[in-house]
Amino acid sequence: MTAPVIELENLRVPIGKREILHGLNLELTSSTVGLLGPNGAGKSTLINTLLGFWRPSSGAARVFGHDVRTEARQVRALIGYMPENDSFIANMPAITYVRMAAELSGLPPEAALERAHEALFYVGLGEARYRKLGAYSLGMRQMAKLAQAIVHGPKLVILDEPTNGLDPQARLRMIRLILEMKALGAMSILICSHLLRDIEETCEEAVILKAGEIVHHADLEEERASNRRFVEIETEGDDGSFADAVERLGCACAVTAPGKIKTVLTEGIEIRDLYRLAADRDVQLRRLNYRRDSLEDIFLKAMEK
């Protein structure tokens, strides 16, 4: 049996005398996980704990089965980390920087150079790889950070606010790269972001933190699937008989206001069945849409807890 990507067991992490993470329990197995939460929720502390920068006071955190407290070196060897803040050496060319990062992860110098070229081409900085990092634009620096995070072929890549400060085009490029990396299946990805849209577009699972506690753990794939069965309908005509007919199909149905119906389609019932029922009863379907319980809704609900 393969170990979960990240496993937290009653994890408590203090910084100084203040406890930041209060007994987190979690098991993440998906290849892409989003970490959400307002400022001060403990996202960065959790990432720093996984990297071994902060020591838990009790409980355990494991990455691919390796305890972050006792096997920090092994854990770090498995991780590629793209920090949120600037992290470069201004007067160093990108190729040297990424090569050095690879060598620090244990690649021999020759292999590190080859991988640095590959990684920079992969993130789209191939033509600019000999330029100094200090001369890069913000978008290019983000890509360089991504290149150094993946150059050594980590099993888990932690991306902290990967689209921070990017213009729409650069953001799309970053999202496309993350999706490509996800599709390749060579690594798991943990994305920490304030932008719910980024998480929604790229992740299979989302963990929402608030005040050092996990307030929601959503399987986004499952949420998306269930959302597809929840339908909101606006009708013109005899909505009562229409609602009865829908219920007779076995679907839970509620008339929330005159002409407004909400229903959950059961297995085997499709939208065309609703059209047929409406046609039989001479009811006009003015509007019909899946109620999309977006990640934003999930996030806001979690924040109310």
Partner 1 sequence: MAVYKRTYRAYTGPLTSPAWRFLVLQRYALRAVFRSRFLLIGYIACFWLPVFAVCALYLNQNAGILAQVNQKPGFMTVDGRFFLLFLQIQGGLAGLLTAFVGPSLIAPDLTNGALSVYLSRPISRTEYILGKGMVVGGLIASITLIPALLLFAIQSSLAGYTWFSSNLFLVNGIVWSSLLLMAYLILLGLAMSAWVRWRIIAGALILAVFAAGKGFGAVVNAAMRTQTGDYLDVQHLLSAFAGSLLHHVADGEHVSASAAFVVLVVFCAMLLGLINRKLRVCEAAG
Please state the closest distance from residue 51 (CB atom) to partner 1, in A. Answer: 5
Minimal distance, residue 251 CB to partner 1, in Å: 45
- C-alpha dist (Å) from residue 175 to 63, 77, 98, 111, 235: 24, 25, 21, 28, 39
Q: For residues 265 and 234, what is the distance between their CA atoms, to the nearest angstrom?
A: 16
Can you list the alpha helix ranges (DSSP code H) found in the chain? 43-50, 72-78, 94-104, 109-122, 138-150, 168-184, 196-202, 220-227, 239-248, 271-280, 295-304
Beta carbon of residue 33, minimum distance to partner 1 (angstroms, whole number): 18
Under 8 Å CB-to-CB from 72, ≥6 apart: which residues?
52
Residue with tokens 């060598």: 103
- Smaller CB separation from partner 1, 92 or 264: 92
Q: In angstroms, give the least distance from the CB of 3 to partner 1.
A: 18
Q: Which is nearer to partner 1, 67 or 114 (CB)?
A: 114
Minimal distance, residue 172 CB to partner 1, in Å: 16
Task: Return the number of other C-beta atoms located less than 10 Å from residue 184's C-beta.
Answer: 9
When the beta carbons of 121 and 290 are compared against partner 1, the nearer one is: 121
The residue ranges that bind partner 1 (CB under 8 A) are 44, 48, 51, 53-54, 73-74, 76-77, 79, 81, 83-92, 96, 100-101, 103-108, 111, 113-115, 117-119, 121-122, 124, 126, 145, 148, 150, 152-153, 160, 180-181, 184, 186-187
Q: How far is the CB of 85 from partner 1 (least distance, A)?
A: 5
Please state, in angstroms and rounded to a whole number, the distance separating the CA atoms of residues 184 and 18. Answer: 41
Smaller CB distance to partner 1: residue 117 or 197?
Answer: 117
Nearer to partner 1, 82 or 302 (CB): 82
CA distances from 162 to 87, 93, 109, 175, 206 (A): 13, 21, 28, 9, 16
Q: How far is the CB of 2 from partner 1 (least distance, A)?
A: 16
Give the gyration radius of the chain's Cα atoms: 24
Kindly tell me which of 55 and 286 has the beta carbon lying closer to partner 1.
55
- Angle, vertex CA 189, rays to CA 185 and CA 193, nearest 5: 145
**For partner 1, which is the closer residue by CB, 176 or 286?**
176
